[in-house]
Structure 1
Amino acid sequence: MNYYDLSKLRLFVESVFTKMGIENEEAILATEVLIKAELRNIPSHGIIRLPDYVRLWQAGRINANPQIKIIKETHTTALIDADKAAGLVVGPKAMKLAIKKAQEYSSGWVCVNNSNHYGIAGYYAMMALEHNMIGISLTNANASVAPTFSVERLLGTNPIAIAIPTDKQPAFVLDMATSPVARGKLTVMEKKGERCPHGWIQDKDGNATDNPSIIRDGGSLVPLGSDNTHASYKGYGLAAVVDVLSGVLSGANYSKWVPPIVSYLPLLANAPGLGTGHFFGAMRIDAFRDAEEFKKEMDNFIQTFRDSKTSAESDAVLIPGDPERIAEEKFSKIGIPKIDAVDKELRELAEILHLDFSL
């Protein structure tokens, strides 16, 4: 396995965003979101997305110099029009606003419309941790998931992220798609020439398959739970709730109208809203109880699971956020793993944009 030097990769990603015309400070923020995905071993939302962002920008679907504005606001809530900004640009701003409102009024809730793909949901939820707050981040995504009993793609993988601070234990960080796998992970499998487990996707007729390319031939992801027998209606319900909070509530698009992350797919006619939608929340713990006491109880809560008897399948019970935290500790030291097919695309992108790719 070969690895990218972290500092060099960060500079390259930043140079791509700058080449798109994104202002320096915002390019740095966007870079941090992408690099965090790589560090936390979520490459489906990392540098693999750079060529897609550039093509969306070239197609006029990402605005490099947006006029991001608050269009409705109360003490504890806000609605932001992102003006077709990269989600990686508006996302940090929206979460900062939610945190600011929570600092003043105990909780803050911010919806965003007219946006684009924003990377990993967990990045934004984790922003609340240093403020002794619980952070929440949701987003809808272009339709790749068929509801239970359907073969039509009507929902995105619509992730949910909740970050909860602790005392001595690592923070509790849930960052999950509402499908068995994120759409981008199928893309990574395609590029690696791998097959996927049964129970993740179905073909255009609703038959289970292990071909990660089947989405291109009319297939779809299934909701979390895989099928009705295994409670896929619960994953379907979760995905629908995320779509309502991110899309319907914000005035963004929802269901099949959420804009695709790839520029070669057209936008559907009769769209009910504007762009992609996000939902951010921050809750101050001391609005409910003493924050330090809460964090100590969270330690005890987590330790209860760590001390539990394990099955033969594993020698430890993991807490949400453990795999990503362990990966981040590792990759911060050795660099970011290279995927050959992605590396090739980045080199081609560097040539097109006349950028140095000496990584």
Structure 2
Amino acid sequence: MLISEPQLRLFTQNIFLAMGCSEVHASLAADVLLKSDLRGIDSHGVARLSGYIRLWEKQRINPTPNIRIIHETATTATIDGDAGLGLVIAPFAMQVAIDKAKVYGSGWVSVRNSNHFGIAGYHALMAVEQDMIGFAMTNASPLVAPTFSGERLLGTNPMCYAFPAGKYPPVIVDMATSAAANGKLEIAQRSGKQVPEGWIQDQQGNPTTDPHALKAGGALLPLGSDREHGSHKGFGLSATVDILSGVLSGAGFGPWVPPFVSFLESPVNPPGQGIGHFLGAMRVDGFRPADAFKSDMDIWIERFKSASTIDPNQKVIIPGEPELEAELDRMQNGIPLVDAVAKDLNELAVKMGLKPLTE
């Protein structure tokens, strides 16, 4: 079914208000989630709402956090999110990075004691709006096995790099460092579909296309799927995200990142606090005039768009292009929700004492 953006936004905002969030935080959290759904990243949008409610019920999410800087230099900072919504904490941290970059050329902020922060692209794009290059990454609960292992030690650990352009939309490289995001497994489960080979292994370490294998003790695979196809590179990228987001900030890291999904149990006395993020902003004019850079970015985009392709019906896709096309379409025609997600949201509304999304 299709739901209009304003209707879904109001519903989402009301859920956060019912959790006890302030109007400002509820509006911001809804904006982050809706940006995901609008851009076609359904795994990180309103489908996550029930997970936030579960964490809130377990007192893992603080709806009224005291988000504060606990360590700082001219160009860096560490922020404690007070167990608030990552959807609120990460934009706060990125704004700190942007403010530092305005004065000193770049700003780098690590975050601890946070929760799931939605799509990394939302936060990186905040920097692009200021003619800056944006960076955003986060660690996540351990669902991914390192190369050659059957043990879940890393999260899907997404990273995003966003670059401003001139007459074209920004180039946004936003990706999980696993073969697939966990949210895509959840979508497959709700849709009753199998997943592609190379996404997941079962408890014995064998390849499988069953999206339920993760709950049965299996693991997601790193980007590259196996050693012969470069999974050690995905492992390395994921490790980088985990170290910058978790070890550097004092957040949980590796197998000690607190779980988002209910079927994982929290370890006893884990090192670090909460989920960690790492965000950065660099002024383009710290390197060359911004207009000149953006003009060359336009040339870069045009050259890659005009590249010859093996299939004449297929063009090279610039990173961020499919998401922009989805956003333009969904703003006009509505946001599609699979029946299982719509049902889940309606049940959530009843639980929170709100009007159902659909009758």
Instruction: Report the TM range for the smaller structure's normalisation.
Output: over 0.9
- The one-letter code of the counterpart of 1:280 is L
| CA displacement, residues 22-58 of structure 1 (integer Å, 9 cap, x when unaligned) | 1100110000000000001011100011011011001
- Aligned-partner SS, 1:72: strand
- Aligned-partner SS, 1:124: helix
CA contact (8 A) 1:59 1:263 kept: no
| CA displacement, residues 141-160 of structure 1 (integer Å, 9 cap, x when unaligned) | 00110000000000000001
| CA displacement, residues 219-274 of structure 1 (integer Å, 9 cap, x when unaligned) | 01110011000110000000000000000000000011111112453211131100
Counterpart CA distance in 1 for 2:120 and 2:308 is 31
Counterpart CA distance in 2 for 1:256 and 1:188 is 24
Do residues 11 (structure 1) and 38 (structure 2) align?
no
Query: Which segments of 5 or more consecutive residues in structure 2 lack a partner in the other structure?
Result: none
Q: CA deviation at 1:313?
A: 7.8
CA contact (8 A) 1:146 1:154 kept: yes
Q: Return 307-316 or 50-59, whichever deviates more.
A: 307-316
Counterpart CA distance in 2 for 1:311 and 1:17 is 48
CA contact (8 A) 1:160 1:176 kept: yes
Do residues 221 (structure 1) and 226 (structure 2) align?
no
Cα distance, 1:65–1:227 mapped onto 2, change above 3 Å: same
- Aligned-partner SS, 1:79: strand
CA contact (8 A) 1:196 1:212 kept: yes
- Aligned-partner SS, 2:299: helix
Cα distance, 1:220–1:19 mapped onto 2, change above 3 Å: same
Structure 2 match to 1:234: 233
Q: Percent identity?
A: 52
Counterpart CA distance in 2 for 1:81 and 1:358 is 34
Structure 2 match to 1:206: 205
| CA displacement, residues 184-229 of structure 1 (integer Å, 9 cap, x when unaligned) | 1100110000111101111111111100110001101110011000
Counterpart CA distance in 2 for 1:26 and 1:97 is 17
Counterpart CA distance in 1 for 2:118 and 2:235 is 22
| CA displacement, residues 299-322 of structure 1 (integer Å, 9 cap, x when unaligned) | 111111111101228521001001
Q: What RMSD, in angstroms, separates the aligned Cα atoms of the two structures?
A: 1.0
Structure 2 match to 1:355: 354
Structure 2 match to 1:172: 171
Structure 1 match to 2:27: 28
Q: 1:193-342 alignment to 2 at 5 Å?
A: 193-263=192-262, 265-312=264-311, 314-342=313-341
TM-score (norm. length: structure 1): 0.98
- Aligned-partner SS, 2:34: helix
Counterpart CA distance in 1 for 2:130 and 2:308 is 34
Counterpart CA distance in 2 for 1:9 and 1:229 is 43
- Aligned-partner SS, 1:54: helix
Counterpart CA distance in 2 for 1:355 and 1:184 is 25
Counterpart CA distance in 2 for 1:146 and 1:194 is 23
Q: Return 174-183 or 258-267, whichever deviates more.
A: 258-267
Counterpart CA distance in 2 for 1:133 and 1:164 is 7
- The one-letter code of the counterpart of 1:311 is I
Counterpart CA distance in 2 for 1:314 and 1:106 is 43
- Aligned-partner SS, 1:216: coil
Counterpart CA distance in 2 for 1:230 and 1:313 is 27
Counterpart CA distance in 1 for 2:40 and 2:191 is 15
Do residues 121 (structure 1) and 85 (structure 2) align?
no
Do residues 182 (structure 1) and 181 (structure 2) align?
yes
List, as ranges, runs of 4+ consecutive aligned residues in structure 1 with deviation greater than 4 Å: none
Structure 2 match to 1:76: 75
Counterpart CA distance in 1 for 2:312 and 2:8 is 36
Q: Return 307-316 or 81-90, whichever deviates more.
A: 307-316
Counterpart CA distance in 1 for 2:224 and 2:162 is 23
Counterpart CA distance in 1 for 2:297 and 2:67 is 37
Counterpart CA distance in 1 for 2:313 and 2:18 is 46
Counterpart CA distance in 1 for 2:84 and 2:263 is 19
CA contact (8 A) 2:8 2:357 kept: no
- Aligned-partner SS, 2:214: helix
CA contact (8 A) 1:10 1:31 kept: yes
CA contact (8 A) 2:347 2:356 kept: no
- The one-letter code of the counterpart of 2:293 is F
Q: 1:92-171 alignment to 2 at 5 Å?
A: 92-171=91-170
Structure 1 match to 2:61: 62
| CA displacement, residues 57-88 of structure 1 (integer Å, 9 cap, x when unaligned) | 01000001111111001111110010100100
